[in-house]
Amino acid sequence: MIRSALGVAALSLLLWSQSPTAQTPVPKDPLCDLRTSERVVAIGDVHGAFDRFVAILQEARLIDARRRWIGGRAVLVQTGDIPDRGNDSRLAFDLLKKLEGEAKSAGGRVYALLGNHEIMRLRGEFAYVSAAEYAAFRTRDSEDLRERYYALLVNELKTRTRAAGAAFDEPAFRQKFLDETPLGFVELRQAFLPDGPYGRWLRGHTAMVKINGVAFVHGGTTPAVAAMGCAGINAAVRAELQKKTITDDASATIVTDSQGPLWFRGLVSDLPTITGEALNGILRSLDARALVVGHTVAEIADDTGARRALGRIRVLFDGRVLQIDTGMVGGQFFPGGRASALELQGATITAVYEGSREVLKASGITPRLRHAPR
Q: Is the pLDDT of residue 371 over 90?
A: no
User: pTM value?
Assistant: 0.89
Query: Each residue of 319-356: pLDDT tens digit?
Result: 999 999 999 999 889 999 999 999 999 999 999 999 99
Per the rule left: phi > 0, alpha: psi between -120 and 50, beta: everything else, 358 is beta
Residue 106: burial class (beta carbons within 10 Å; 0-12, 13-18, 19+): middle
Using CB atoms within 10 A of its CB, is residue 44 exposed (0-12), middle (13-18) or buried (19+)?
A: buried
H helical segments located in the chain: 2-11, 50-59, 89-105, 116-123, 131-135, 142-164, 170-180, 185-191, 197-202, 223-226, 229-241, 276-286
Give 3's contacts (C-beta < 8 A, 6+ positions apart): 126, 180, 181, 185
Torsion of CA 241, 320, 334, 312, to 10 degrees: -140
CATH superfamily of 28-122+193-365: Metallo-dependent phosphatases (3.60.21.10)
> Which DSSP category does 43 fall into?
E
pLDDT in tens, 285-299: 999 999 999 999 988
Q: What is the mean pLDDT of the chain?
A: 89
What is the DSSP-derived secondary structure letter of residue 109? E
| Local confidence band at 272 (pLDDT 50, 70, 90 cut-offs) | confident
Instruction: Give the per-residue pLDDT at 203.
Output: 94
Strands across the sheet with 290-293, in order? 208-211, 214-217, 290-293, 321-323, 314-316
pLDDT at 231 over 50: yes
Confidence of residue 369 (pLDDT cuts 50, 70, 90): very low
For the chain, domain boundaries: 28-122+193-365, 139-183
Contact between 308 and 338 (Cβ < 8 Å): no
Centre a 10 Å sphere on the Cβ of residue 53 and count the other Cβ atoms it contains.
26
